Amino acid sequence: MNTRAPHPSAHLTDRASQALQRCGAPPPAHDGSLVVTTPIDGTELARLHPHTATDLDIAVSAAADAFTVWRAVPAPARGRLVRRLSELLTQHKADLAELVTLEAGKITSEALGEVQEMIDVCDFAVGLSRQLYGRTMPSERAGHRLMETWHPLGVVGVISAFNFPVAVWSWNTAIALVCGNPVVWKPSETTPLTALACDALLRRAAADVGAPDALHHVLLGDAAVGEALVDDPRIALVSATGSVRMGRIVGPRVAARFGRVLLELGGNNGAIVAPSADLDLTVRAVVFAAAGTAGQRCTTLRRLIVHRSVADELVRRIAAAYSGLRVGDPFDEGVLVGPLISGRAHEAMRKALERAELDGGVRVTGGERVDGPGESFYVSPALVRMPAQTEVVREETFAPILYVLTYDDFDEAIALHNAVPQGLASSIFTTDSREAERFLASSDCGIANVNIGTSGAEIGGAFGGEKETGGGRESGSDSWKAYMRRATNTINYSDELPLAQGVEFG
Ligand code: NAD
């Protein structure tokens, strides 16, 4: 394993503060109780003031007032706000990426990619602002027209996870805004500076195009702030991204008040490698999907289900590729694997590896802690051959562990693939088109790919998953419908009053 420990830097706090200010936000506080550190070396970046219940009440009231104005603005005109946001994101791409690296530990290329995803979804939303199409249906009654229209829904509450600190916000916010809704955002307590930067950019965009300032609010804090948001009946839609544990709490609470909920929860993504697979391509795809972002994507590849005839060779080649991965400071050029987010994440990884070994798993490579400065947790990505899909394999451990299972029969591979509680992303590597089609028809995930890894989705498709992943869909395709209210309209342009289904009354 080619590793290099990062250099401790006294300048990370300044870098965060400067990037934030370049985005138009005030310098961060250093006297609050919300301590923000960087996973790069544990340096404290800020001490922010978490928001209170009163702050939440004020923010939601202001957003509800802004809704009455914004919903009356024609959708294409709402699109102008998102177009301006896209311009500002483009201008501040490097600043936001710097904050993503500082707070979430992503390597620069992936951090820039995350900001590019924000720009892409803004472009999509601007186009959408002229395409919020409803259908017309033939009416069964003469002189009648039947149609559906889509209307703004209300205030959208966004709860987001640490690992996509800005992209998930933009998927929700760009679409919510063109749909006519204000947004109240509770970002991860681990990544509040990126949230303050986004808020500053959106407020500037609103000022530039004359949109209400109160269209967007950030509420900083932990789960308690999230729960207050979840319980507020003025929040029409709660879009929550994070662990299954969080979704189990949020889902029923929103349902109890008949609110609308969109859940984007954990994944435990698998790929099948068939005997006909192009192994060169497979190795490249697997290494990015399993080790990229230090295994901290919801779509990270965690289970590789390989035909017995190619398993030994594939494992050997993945292990060889892993040995060339540089682990270290995510700002350093050439580093491909940055830090884990916390000591807790490292502990979860260590325990999972221990359990896998107790279950008969054999560690082929990786899984060791790599020296880093200060309070940091760097690890080498682990590759573990498993005799069976045991309990630990069926759980999501948010760290770079790739379990390898073998199969003999294609039906067995599909059954293994689907036999986990989560249902986010899946892939098959094969050059047999029948096998590929059978996989696409059988995978129970929201995302099913052929000859490409499980991670790194484009914004054009609907993103989300089934089963414990929560069933929500965000970003492209017709995901916008979750952010709008549908009305069915029947218009009688005749001078008769025929009743539907031929009913006679009087
Ligand atoms: P987390 O569940 O710990 O936190 C996510 C967010 O939920 C944070 O803002 C947190 O403060 C908030 N939260 C936690 N408990 C809450 C509660 N009871 N009520 C309201 N809000 C609450 O997740 P994390 O560690 O930040 O992120 C990693 C997890 O997120 C992984 O499981 C990953 O798979 C998942 N994730 C899913 C997607 C997706 O699109 N499906 C995307 C990114 C991350």
pLDDT higher than 90, residue 173: yes
Given pLDDT bands bounded at 50, 70 and 90, which one contains residue 5?
Answer: very low
Q: Domains of the chain: which residue ranges?
A: 12-265+470-486, 269-450
Provide the pairing of β-strand 484-492 with 144-152.
Answer: antiparallel
How far is it, in rounded angstroms, from Cα 99 to Cα 108? 10
Question: How far apart are alpha carbons 56 and 28 in whole angstroms?
Answer: 20
Helix (H/G/I), strand (E/B), else coil: 226:
helix
List phi, psi (to 5°) of 30.
-130, 20
Decide if pLDDT at 9 tops 70. no
- 230 ligand 1 Cβ < 6 A: yes
- Is the pLDDT at 411 greater than 70? The verdict is yes
Tell me what pLDDT residue 292 has.
Answer: 98
Q: Which DSSP state fits 131?
A: -
Q: What is the pLDDT of residue 3?
A: 41
Q: Kindly report the average pLDDT of the chain as a whole number.
A: 97
> Would residue 53 be called left, alpha or beta, if left means φ above 0 and alpha means ψ between -120 and 50 degrees?
alpha
pLDDT at 6: 43
The rounded Å distance from CA 246 to ligand 1 centre is 6
pLDDT tens track for 346-396: 999 999 999 999 999 999 999 999 999 999 999 999 999 999 999 999 999
The fourth-level CATH superfamily of domain 269-450 is: Aldehyde Dehydrogenase; Chain A, domain 2 (3.40.309.10)
Nearest CA to ligand 1 atom 12: 223
Task: Quote ipTM for the complex.
Answer: 0.99
CATH number assigned to the domain with residue range 12-265+470-486, chosen from the 4 options 3.40.250.10, 3.40.50.720, 3.40.50.261, 3.40.605.10: 3.40.605.10
CB 427 within 8 A of CB 435: no
Name the pLDDT band for 245 (thresholds 50, 70, 90): very high
**CA neighbor of 383 nearest in space, from 308, 323, 449:** 323
- At residue 6, the 3 state secondary structure works out as coil
Residue 335's pLDDT is 98
Q: Per the structure block, which two tokens stand in for 9? A: 């830097």
For the stretch 149-171, pLDDT in tens is 999 999 999 999 999 999 999 99
State the distance from the centre of ligand 1 to the C-alpha of 497, rounded, in angstroms: 53
Residue 10 pLDDT: 59
Using the predicted structure, report yes or no on whether residue 4 has a pLDDT greater than 80: no
Tell me what pLDDT residue 2 has.
40
The answer, yes or no, to whether any atom of ligand 1 lies below 6 A from the CB of 243, is: yes
